Amino acid sequence: MEKDVLLSLIEKYKLLKEEHDIILKKLIDQLFSKKVKNEKPSIMFVIGQPGSGKTTFINSVNLSEYTIINSDEYRKLIKFYPEIMENYPTLLSKLTNYDAHLWGDELFSYGTINGYSVLREKVPVDYSLIDLIKELSSKHDITINVLVTGNLTSLLATRERYEKEVLENKNAKLSNIDAHNKCYDLLPQFIATCVELGVKVNFVVPFNNEFKIITPNDNYLDILEQLREESNMNAYETF
């Protein structure tokens, strides 16, 4: 698809500000009404490329103190969602990113400003998140949990997930391979920068249907590469 046509579709499917703000208010009430403010709120980022297991990890551990913010979950709140899925399923992410990611940013900002512990699930594809982490690290306890899998493992996982969704409802969301590759290539330097800022970084590794958390003292990048290689070798043998 030509760039001009894509940009036109993105503009077409943006919500009006009034519509966007109505849903934002509902999300704030839904996510924060039963949460307790903290004197020393903490912030957690769970990051990794699509298919690395971020959501599965979040659902597998007790994170009840956190308000969990995942922009992907808000895409269906856009009134054009059924139309996009019907006519442009391969462009779903791009055509819903504006409102979905803006809601995520707004909810995250609301939580940090008002004293809530918040968890943000992210697929970083550039270094804009670093600026936010740097800003927040002076005021908050921040933990970054990086889901570590090889690129072969995560690509196969996204394919498997897509096929399962197709079998269930014929209306599956396709993962963005460009976003996958950008995130995968970005993560080493992203992690190194977080470590330089003094932010706690954990590696979260899928292991026998569970997750093993590793906090390296040094040699972050060597350990990351080793874990990725092991993950891909396992994928060769098991997928």
Q: Which string of b and e fits 5-16 if b means at least 16 CB within 10 Å?
A: eeeebeeebbbe
Domain residue limits, the chain = 1-34+68-116, 38-66+121-239
Fold classification of 38-66+121-239 is: Rossmann fold (3.40.50)
β-sheet bridge partners, residue 200: 143
Give pairs for 209-215: CB < 8 Å, separation 24+: 210/60, 211/53, 211/57, 211/60, 211/61, 213/145
pLDDT in tens, 132-179: 999 998 888 999 999 999 999 999 888 877 677 666 665 666 667 888
pLDDT (tens, 9 = 90+) of the chain, 239 residues, equals 678 999 999 999 999 999 999 999 999 999 999 999 988 899 999 999 999 999 999 999 999 899 999 999 999 999 999 999 889 988 888 999 999 999 999 999 999 999 999 999 999 999 999 999 999 988 889 999 999 999 999 998 888 776 776 666 656 666 678 889 999 999 999 999 999 999 999 999 998 889 999 998 889 999 999 999 999 999 888 87
Whole-model pTM over 0.85? yes
pLDDT tens string 200-211: 999 999 988 899
Q: Which candidate, 10, 27, 182, 176, places its Cα nearest to that of 96?
A: 10
Residue 201, phi then psi, degrees to nearest 5: -120, 125
Q: Which amino acid is at 27?
A: L
| Buried b / exposed e along 147-169 (16+ C-beta atoms within 10 A) | bbbbbbbbbbbbeeeeeeeeeee
